[in-house]
Every structure is written in C-alpha cells, then in structure tokens.
Structure 1
Amino acid sequence: MNIFKRLFKIGQSETNSAIDKMEDPINMTEQGIRDLRDNLKEGLESLAQVKALAIRAKNDLEELTSKAEDYQQKAILILQKAKTGNLDSNEADRLAKEALIKKEETNKQASNSQLEAEKLNTSVTQLEHNVDEIKNNINKWENELKTLKARVKVSKATKNLNKQMAEIDNSSTVAMLERMKDKVNQEEALAEAYGDMAKSSKSIDDELNNAIDFTENNADNDLAKLKEQLGLNNKDI
C-alpha cells in the first residue's frame, strides 16, 4: 500500500503548494478524491478477478481431492475382486497399480492447486486491505473537503465584512445620519402642515360638534333653561 501513501503525500504536497501560491485548494482536493475513486474502481475490479481465481482454485482443489480418493477406492475394489476370484490377480495388480499412479498424480495436482489457492487468498487479503485503505482515504478527504469549504466560506464572509468596516468613513457616516435626521424632520413638519390644512377644511358644524359634547342630556337641560328664560313652562302649555 506504499504507492497509495506516496500518492497521498504527493497530494498533500501539491495542496500545500497551491495554498502557498494562493490557488484554490478545494479544486485540488476534489481532483484528489476523483483520482482516489478511480483507484478504488480499479482496485475493486482487480479484487473481483483475483477472488474469482481463488474460488476456481478452491473448486479445483476439492475436485482433485475427490478424484484422488476415487482412484484409491477403485484400486481397493479391483483388489477385492481379485481376492474373490472375479478378476485375474495379475490383471488386478496391474490395474490397481495404475489406479494408485493416477491417485499420486492427482494428489500432486491437488498440492499445486492448494499452493495456488493459498497464494490467491493472500492476494485477496492484500487487495481487500488496499481497497479498505482507499475507502478510508476517500472518507478522510471528503470530510477534510467539507471542513475546508466551511472555512473558506467563513473566511470570505469575514474578509468581506472586515473590508466593508475598513472602507467606512466616519465623517461620511455622520453626514449621512445628519441628512437622514433632516429628512425625518422635514417629513414630520410636512405631516403637521397637512394636519393643520385638514383641520381648517372642516365645516362649521364639525367644529361645533367637536367643541360641544352634544349629548341627549345636555340638550334637555338647554331646552329647560331656554323655556325658563322665555317664561314658558309646562303649566302654561
């Protein structure tokens, strides 16, 4: 897995160099993740192929082991037939010997298949380790990318805010506030003027109604007083 460590170090070196050159490290990190995903794809394909070979070697081993046992059983059956007189003893010895030779050859093939299967299983284990390491690196880089994007966003916002604060002119700000105050005073005076105009446009009846609280009780009292002044009362009516 040293090659992936070297790739990771190269990626780190390039990222640091980009930062020093004021380049965008986010793009380089994203490219590094894409490269790792390509490596992961190749690694998974290789793993699948080697696993297939390992499975085939295992099946071959089981088949050869079964075949060797079959030759052993055939030799035994031949010798048993010779013992019972169903087969010539010399012919039985020849056939049994041939069966045992086949058995030995098959056992050698089985041994070779077993060694091949062990090598393939070792390769499978190594490839699985490599694939897991690539996956871990991808997850690590993706998390670092999220953090980096967040930091860039915060730093840009902070920079813009600080820039705006630095560009603020105190004297111009005070002048702007004074203009705003003048504008508000002008609007308030204009509102008051419209209010006076609205009052002057009211009818005399409106003014009388506003000046006098004209309720039913007051009208009765005023009527009684007026009758008294005129010398009128209920007895005279």
Structure 2
Amino acid sequence: MANILKRFGDIMSANINALLDKAEDPEKMIDQYLREIESDLGKVKAETAAVMAAETKAKRELDECAAEAEKMQKYAEKALLAGNESDARQFLEKKADLTKKQESLQKSYEAAAANAAQMKEMHDKLVKDMENLQSKRDAIKTKVAVAKTQEKLNKIGSSVAGAGDAMAAFDRMEAKADKMLDEANALSELNKQEGGIDDLTKKYDSAASTSDVDDELAALKAKMGL
C-alpha cells in the first residue's frame, strides 16, 4: 500500500513534469503511467472493499451483541414477574457478559469505521487524481498533435521559401535581360539617328552638285547663242 501511495505521490507531484520533459514521446510516457495507476487503483479498490467489509462485520457483531443483551434484560424481567429470581439473576449475569463484550465490539467497530473512512477518502482522492491525469493526457496529446502539425507546416514553409528564392533569382535574371535589351535598343536608335544626318547631308550635297551643273549648262547655251 505504501508503494502505491508513493507512486501516486510521485506522479501527481512536479516529478512527472521532469519525467515528461526527458521523454522522447510524452504521449506514450503518460499512457504508461496511466496503465500503472489503473493497476494500482485496482489494488486500492480491493483493499478498500476489504476494510469496508470489516467495518460492516464489526457493526453487525456489535448490533447482534446489543440485541442479545437487550434480550437478556427482557428475559430477566419476565423471570422476576414469574417469581423466578434465580433465573432472573442468570439472565442478568449473561447480560453483564454481553455488555462487556459489547464494549469491546464497540471499540473494534470504531477502529474499523475509522479505517474504512480513511481508505474511502484515500480511494476517492486517487480516483480524482486519476481523472486529473487523464485530463493532462488529453491536453498533452492535443499539444503533441499541434506540434506535429506545426512541424509539417515548417517543412512546407521551408519548401515555399526555397521556391521564393528561386523566383527571386529568375526575377533578377529577367531584369538583367530587360536591361540588356533596353541598352541594345537605345544603341540601335542612336545608330539610326547618326545615319539620318549623313543621308540628309548627302541629299543637300547632291542637290548642290545638280545646281552647279544647271548653271554651267545655261552659261554654255548663252555663249553658243542657243
């Protein structure tokens, strides 16, 4: 019994928190403790039932003794009414013996009742502790489930973050390509502008040459009288 109470004391104290902190799988750890407690609780129930049975027996023996003493009292009265004082004395002597026995049985019953009350109180406390542990187990299982879900989300988040880095790299490459294309287009535009000036100059140069020829032709016609 002492070992059972010590086990309950250890489990319900802060020691269980230290044990759970060290456990690789807190969910399995607390399930193991609950199985052990259920086994111990079964032993406590059996012992509590035995002590309560002893109390019931002691009470029954006390009541029977008291009833027998009361019966002797009534027989003594009847004997006196019948004029049999000797018989009445015997009944009273028996009553005296039963009264002494009753005192002893009373003490035994009080002790048995105290033991039963103590065991019942202990049993009820252990049952309540068991319920508290079951609640803790449910809370721990919920936390473990949330933690596992968070781990999955973290892995997915890492993958998404990796994809984001790749997208950023492609964006940088695209920006670089756009820059190169813009520079090439600008250079091409500049080249076109330079070619345009040359062509325009040639146009006027050509026009000037044609005008000179016309002037010379006119002068030649005048000289020839044409």
TM-score under structure 1 length normalisation: 0.62
1:68, distance to aligned residue in structure 2 (A): 0.7
Amino acid aligned to 2:56? I
Does structure 1 retain, via aligned residues, the 8 Å contact 2:27–2:141?
Answer: yes
What is the distance in 2 between the residues matched to 1:45 and 1:131? 10
The correspondence for 1:172, drawn from 166, 170, 174, is: 166
1:150, distance to aligned residue in structure 2 (A): 0.9
Aligned to 1:135: 127
1:19 partnered with 2:21: yes
Higher Cα Rg: structure 1 or 2? 2
Q: After TM superposition, where is structure 1 displaced by more than 4 Å over at least 4 residues in a row?
A: 1-5, 173-177
1:154, distance to aligned residue in structure 2 (A): 0.9
What is the distance in 2 between the residues matched to 1:17 and 1:47? 30
Alignment of 1:1-237 (within 5 A): 6-11=6-11, 12-13=14-15, 15-20=17-22, 23-82=24-83, 92-167=84-159, 168-169=161-162, 170-173=164-167
Amino acid aligned to 2:7? L
Does structure 1 retain, via aligned residues, the 8 Å contact 2:10–2:16?
Answer: yes
Q: CA 1:23–1:126 in structure 2 vs 1: closer, same or farther (change >3 Å)?
A: same
Does structure 2 retain, via aligned residues, the 8 Å contact 1:39–1:134?
Answer: no
TM-score under structure 2 length normalisation: 0.64
Deviations 1:5-29, CA, capped at 9 Å, x for gaps: 6424533525523423x52122121
What is the distance in 2 between the residues matched to 1:10 and 1:171? 52
Q: CA 1:18–1:66 in structure 2 vs 1: closer, same or farther (change >3 Å)?
A: closer
Deviations 1:140-192, CA, capped at 9 Å, x for gaps: 11111111111111112112212332344234356899xxxxxxxxxxxxxxx
Structure 1, unpaired ranges of 5+: 83-91, 178-237
Does structure 1 retain, via aligned residues, the 8 Å contact 2:27–2:144?
Answer: no
Q: CA 1:121–1:173 in structure 2 vs 1: closer, same or farther (change >3 Å)?
A: farther
Over the aligned positions, Cα root-mean-square deviation in angstroms equals 2.6
- The size of the alignment, in residue pairs, is 167
Aligned to 1:233: none
Deviations 1:81-118, CA, capped at 9 Å, x for gaps: 22xxxxxxxxx343322211110111111122221111
Does structure 2 retain, via aligned residues, the 8 Å contact 1:74–1:99?
Answer: yes
Deviations 1:18-63, CA, capped at 9 Å, x for gaps: 423x521221211111122122211221222222222222221121
- 2:126 aligned counterpart, secondary structure: helix
Q: CA 1:10–1:59 in structure 2 vs 1: closer, same or farther (change >3 Å)?
A: closer
Q: CA 1:76–1:33 in structure 2 vs 1: closer, same or farther (change >3 Å)?
A: same
- 2:91 aligned counterpart, secondary structure: helix
Does structure 1 retain, via aligned residues, the 8 Å contact 2:75–2:88?
Answer: yes
